[in-house]
Structure 1
Amino acid sequence: MGGHMRRPLVTAIVSTFDAERLFAGCMENLLRQSLYARGLLEIVVVDSGSRQGESALAAAYAREHPGIVCLRTQRETLYAAWNRAVGVALGRYIANANTDDRHHPDTMRVMAEWLDASGAGLAYADTLITPAVNETHMDTRSDVVWAMPGYSLRQAVVDCIFGPVTMWRADAHDAIGMFPEEMRIAGDYAFFLHVAWKMGAVHVPLPLGLCHQSMDNLSSDVVGAVRENYAFLPALRRCIPLADMYPFLDGNASDAARCIALVDYANLLLFAPGGHADPAHALDLYAEVDALCPGRFDVRFNAAVAMVKAGERERAMDALRGIDVRDDEERTLVAHNVRLLQRGEPLWKLATVSVSHPLTDALAPLVPRERRRMSRAQYIALRPGGAAYLAGDASADATR
């Protein structure tokens, strides 16, 4: 076990299991971080019962380089290993370093600077994506960037926007707790969403990571991720006050303003991307709106769609037939959905109604995660000394 002469600013945690062919590349990548050269990066390795040679490699690195802590455990979940590393970490900030992913040489410094400037509890960045094993950020041939949206709690509760390049305050664990060890895939989303809600988050709009895309990754288990999302998201969402997502409710306690927020949130939960939709919660929100502002066509119509998504087709049919329609357009919409339900058509064919409002239109737009090409000039600008190297205003995207 090595030791830095200075207290580290950042601790990078590396959990490894049967990843010997990736481990040296991961360690070399961290040792080339500019923060490590300044004695401000600690590396904590947790060998989670690997059947390969990572422990011997980690011990050799620790003998030759200061600031490396090596732990070996029985086989445990990724998040149990992360918690074990967090328990010994000395850094003010903590970052995960997956054995198959790589970082820009200045990733740890840039992420820490954005946390310093924003005061947020969590920072997350964009990343390049590659199918190649053991490429580095400096020699990759990939030009595909996985761009994350800017932070808003309203979007984070309906989609995991944080990605694989993250850094968070170590004291977040004192306030929030640890990663849920029973999870295999979605434990980081559960923890990061809680941190973002309580302490704020900031998006760093630079491709600071290089993510190895493989069907062997835990993140490729979509079914498992959906199952784990449903294990924690519904309860956490019900704990978050509506005003935390809709700032226009601060100082405006009118029923009309609350209904505007409730309808928007219910529609988001109804239409959320795979693994994040919650029709049961949406139904509760629509019911609250109907009690406060009774008779709204869009609310009762979409509530019927939520019933279908919740597996209650007969109830949805009765609800549609019970709507008091006011014009031909509403009559046509109701008849359309009734006809589809009678035929047993798939859910995606059902019509829904969306009503915009200036209060919700003024909120940060919901932008999907997207993959886009990066030009060679943009890539060169990211290299040390390049024009865009470390570019960006560290306080511009911070949201509490």
Structure 2
Amino acid sequence: MEMCLEPAGSETVSVIVPAYNAARTIGETLRSVTAQTHRELEIVVVDDGSADDTPAIVQGLAARDPRIRLLRQANAGVAAARNAGIAASTGRFIAPVDADDLWHPAKIERQLAVFRQGGERMGLVYTWFALIDGKSQVVQLRHRPCHEGDVLAPLAFHNFIGNGSSALIRRSAFDRTGGYDTTLRARGGQGCEDWKLYFEIAEHHHFGFVPEPLTGYRDLPDNMSSDVLQMLRSRDLCTEDLLPRHPELAKAFQSGRNRLSRLLFHRAIRLGRTKEVIRLAEAIGRYDPAFLAVVIASLPLSAAKGVVGRLLPAGGYQGHSNTAFARLDPL
């Protein structure tokens, strides 16, 4: 029996934009949204207690484009802002975009095409992203994941979607989740709200993707993801919530956590953030001392000695045996 599908143009997409002190970028972000070739959009900007000109900029753009609507709330965090925007919207599809990211004009149109091909079980379609700098220039084009269909195991390992602005989500799939987890902020672990939501959607639905870099993800020093220890705590809190439902994925969760910590560790070294390097090494060691040995062993000898010297000033790492570091001894 042939499935009858509505044309893409008949679908209203709810674009949700959480914004906190985003005056520098919100105008450019909204212009990239309103330039979409798929025109049936409702654009809900949730000002999360900004102290700058963010609301005024949004109101100015809304006066010229009736699809834009501004909601305001006391500062409650990105998860609460996204949930508020989604609750106030009506579209069959939900498209979150952070207030400093950008979209290619054809992003939504091409994602809807994948939804039409995938049928009702398709719950989320993502795109590849381009890393952009503060001047909106592309600085990296390495994001090329190809996970589709049942993606629960790959998601347990890592957030291959990579950001909160590239997903297009079927509302019925979102409604089966608990929404973006606002408790992570209260528990001192903001940062992995996207990953947790994607995982909860993947528990019941398939994923699709558009193999083009249609999302511009801005990587700035003050991004939430730049708080490396908070990101690790956020992942740990999410894992604590998700693992009891999927004990068969324990290895993937652990390997993914180690992967993330190693990436953050190497980035801190590359940026010369010595204190951050030591704090990350301590966090890795508490979680998996043997993996810390592997990470340090991969460093140049002088760097490895420096890290070990800071971690073991009194001949031991916070109660752990020195045997984990035996392979680091050049003698």
Q: State the Cα distance separating 1:270 from its structure 2 match.
A: 4.6
Moved more, 97-106 or 225-234: 225-234
Contact persistence 1:124–1:163 (CA under 8 A):
no
Aligned to 2:19: 16
Letter in 2 for 1:234: E
Aligned to 2:128: 126
Aligned to 1:182: 183
Matched, 1:208 2:214: yes
Q: State the Cα distance separating 1:222 from its structure 2 match.
A: 2.1
Equivalence map 1:230-245=2 (5 Å): 230-240=236-246, 242=248
Aligned to 2:309: none
CA distance in structure 2 between the aligned counterparts of 1:150 and 1:23, rounded to whole angstroms? 31
Cα 1:54–1:154, aligned 2, differ >3 Å: closer, same or farther?
same
Aligned to 1:397: none
Number of aligned residue pairs: give it: 257
CA distance in structure 2 between the aligned counterparts of 1:20 and 1:227, rounded to whole angstroms? 29
Equivalence map 1:289-328=2 (5 Å): none
CA distance in structure 1 between the aligned counterparts of 2:140 and 2:92, rounded to whole angstroms? 33
Cα 1:270–1:187, aligned 2, differ >3 Å: closer, same or farther?
closer
Q: State the Cα distance separating 1:347 from its structure 2 match.
A: 9.1
Cα 1:144–1:84, aligned 2, differ >3 Å: closer, same or farther?
same
Q: State the Cα distance separating 1:173 from its structure 2 match.
A: 3.2
Q: State the Cα distance separating 1:177 from its structure 2 match.
A: 2.4
Cα 1:113–1:347, aligned 2, differ >3 Å: closer, same or farther?
farther
CA distance in structure 2 between the aligned counterparts of 1:238 and 1:108, rounded to whole angstroms? 35
Equivalence map 1:1-400=2 (5 Å): 9-36=12-39, 40-119=40-119, 120-133=122-135, 135=136, 140=137, 142=139, 144-151=141-148, 152-164=151-163, 165-183=166-184, 184-240=190-246, 242=248, 265=249, 267-274=251-258, 344-346=323-325
CA distance in structure 2 between the aligned counterparts of 1:181 and 1:175, rounded to whole angstroms? 16
Corresponding residue SS for 2:222: coil
Q: State the Cα distance separating 1:234 from its structure 2 match.
A: 3.2
Contact persistence 2:243–2:250 (CA under 8 A):
no
Q: State the Cα distance separating 1:132 from its structure 2 match.
A: 3.3
CA RMSD of aligned residues (A): 2.8
Cα 1:267–1:28, aligned 2, differ >3 Å: closer, same or farther?
closer
Cα 1:57–1:150, aligned 2, differ >3 Å: closer, same or farther?
same
Contact persistence 1:230–1:275 (CA under 8 A):
no
TM-score (normalizing by structure 2) = 0.70
Larger gyration radius, structure 1 or structure 2: 1
Contact persistence 1:158–1:276 (CA under 8 A):
no
CA distance in structure 1 between the aligned counterparts of 2:103 and 2:49, rounded to whole angstroms? 25
CA distance in structure 2 between the aligned counterparts of 1:65 and 1:229, rounded to whole angstroms? 38
CA distance in structure 2 between the aligned counterparts of 1:267 and 1:177, rounded to whole angstroms? 25
Q: State the Cα distance separating 1:7 from its structure 2 match.
A: 7.4
Alpha-carbon deviations, 1:136-194, whole Å to 9, x = none? Answer: xxxx4545232234143211112111222111111223211211112221111111110
Q: State the Cα distance separating 1:343 from its structure 2 match.
A: 5.1
CA distance in structure 2 between the aligned counterparts of 1:86 and 1:95, rounded to whole angstroms? 9
Letter in 1 for 2:219: Q
CA distance in structure 2 between the aligned counterparts of 1:32 and 1:108, rounded to whole angstroms? 11
Q: State the Cα distance separating 1:274 from its structure 2 match.
A: 2.9
Contact persistence 1:77–1:182 (CA under 8 A):
no
Identity of aligned residues (%): 23
Letter in 2 for 1:34: T
Cα 1:272–1:98, aligned 2, differ >3 Å: closer, same or farther?
closer
Unmatched 5+ stretches in structure 1: 1-5, 243-264, 278-307, 313-340, 350-400
Q: State the Cα distance separating 1:67 from its structure 2 match.
A: 1.5
Corresponding residue SS for 1:47: strand
Contact persistence 1:269–1:276 (CA under 8 A):
no
Contact persistence 1:226–1:275 (CA under 8 A):
no
Letter in 2 for 1:210: G
Letter in 2 for 1:147: R
CA distance in structure 2 between the aligned counterparts of 1:146 and 1:58, rounded to whole angstroms? 31
Contact persistence 2:43–2:67 (CA under 8 A):
yes
CA distance in structure 2 between the aligned counterparts of 1:347 and 1:170, rounded to whole angstroms? 53
Q: State the Cα distance separating 1:20 from its structure 2 match.
A: 0.5
CA distance in structure 1 between the aligned counterparts of 2:59 and 2:99, rounded to whole angstroms? 16
Q: State the Cα distance separating 1:56 from its structure 2 match.
A: 1.5
Contact persistence 1:125–1:206 (CA under 8 A):
yes
Q: State the Cα distance separating 1:48 from its structure 2 match.
A: 0.7
Cα 1:223–1:70, aligned 2, differ >3 Å: closer, same or farther?
same
Contact persistence 1:103–1:208 (CA under 8 A):
yes
CA distance in structure 1 between the aligned counterparts of 2:225 and 2:50, rounded to whole angstroms? 20
TM-score (normalizing by structure 1) = 0.58
Cα 1:268–1:64, aligned 2, differ >3 Å: closer, same or farther?
closer
Q: State the Cα distance separating 1:116 from its structure 2 match.
A: 2.7
CA distance in structure 2 between the aligned counterparts of 1:270 and 1:23, rounded to whole angstroms? 37
Contact persistence 2:159–2:195 (CA under 8 A):
yes
Q: State the Cα distance separating 1:115 from its structure 2 match.
A: 2.2
Contact persistence 2:111–2:209 (CA under 8 A):
no
Alpha-carbon deviations, 1:256-289, whole Å to 9, x = none? Answer: xxxxxxxxx5554453343779xxxxxxxxxxxx
